[in-house]
Structure 1
Amino acid sequence: MKSTTVPLYKETKRLILRHLEPYDYENWSQAFSSMRPPQSEWDETSWTLSELTKAKFKEKLKKELKRRAADSAYELSVFRKDDGMLIGHVAIDGIIRGNFQNGVLGYRIFNNFWGEGYATEACSAAMQLAFKELKLHRVEAFIEPDNKPSLKVAKKIKLRKEGLSVRRVFWKKKWINLSVFAATSEDYGIKYKFPPKQK
């Protein structure tokens, strides 16, 4: 598949998924600065208050655009429809083309918006984009075995558990195992044609 800088966009009942734009700086800065202290061992702050600058934001936008142009990763910010508030982000990254046509789903909903079902809604929309717009055949997710909220999200968006990846990633000074979840386009009722059409 050719690299693309065509923007991805998806609306759900309550959310809008889109790429960050220069005019989103204030919203982005406010979203991170207003987060509650970490609420679990998986809830970590991505940015310190001193890093929430316009220069850092511009740098982030450039990196996101570069990854899209390389067709390696697509990050989408998640906004609430009713007030335009930035509440998190989802991503399809680790993309491998050729005979694989795979990607990896990741997400984060900021902790002051937990418990509203936003993660399920946003991730479900991201899966649709992965299969319909990015023309991927398979999307995987790697989840800590004890991360019950994310395990529930995986089940709700039709990801099947495929096994355990032993000592998958080095995190908090140790190698940890991750449960492997995945879905293919057929699981979402989308017949896959190989090779995918070029954009």
Structure 2
Amino acid sequence: MGIRDLRILTLIVAAMVALEALSTPIILLAAALFPEGYMENVVPIASQVDFAVSVFTLLTYAVFGRWIYVAGRNLVEAGYQDLEFTPGSRIWWFAVPIANFVKPYQGMRELWNASHGESDYTIGNGLVGAWWALWLGHGFLATILRIAAGPDAGTGPLWFQSAADIAVAVVAIIMLCSIAEAQRKLGTGQLAEVFA
């Protein structure tokens, strides 16, 4: 099958991650800057907007998972046979309770190290570590804010969560772009198209 060029898929994932992270701040800004228009046009369809944002978030996770799979498959196609994680396991570890606090990080660390030519796949990388810490912190923060913020909490908790969303998105995009660029050097032959 050959090593696939991740540039187009990386661009798509980066755009989706950025849009997903910016959705709440955009809604909050619209409410603050245009309160009358917001009340007339957005509030009546708030549940539909929330549903659309949730669907887009799930779609973003699916496309991000596709990116992880293709990047992992590229390592296999490049001849890496000593990997601990298969392309698929890098994704499904996100869904395994308790292990999902550690295994996805280890899978992405291995993906990063192998893509960048490191012979020891267990060496920590600051960017991957920052992404994982932000991802976990983002999830814990969302849970805490959902529990602690009552109906009278205002928009403060949403702004706080938005800052965490943006931070994890920026680091994730930088990480994906760096891995994609490193993988361009994996194969000496022609790279296959991502969706081929």
TM-score range relative to shorter protein: under 0.3
- More helix by proportion, 1 or 2? 2
Q: What's the TM-score, normalizing by structure 2?
A: 0.23
Q: TM-score, normalised by structure 1?
A: 0.23
Q: Which has the larger radius of gyration?
A: 2
Greater share of residues in strand:
1
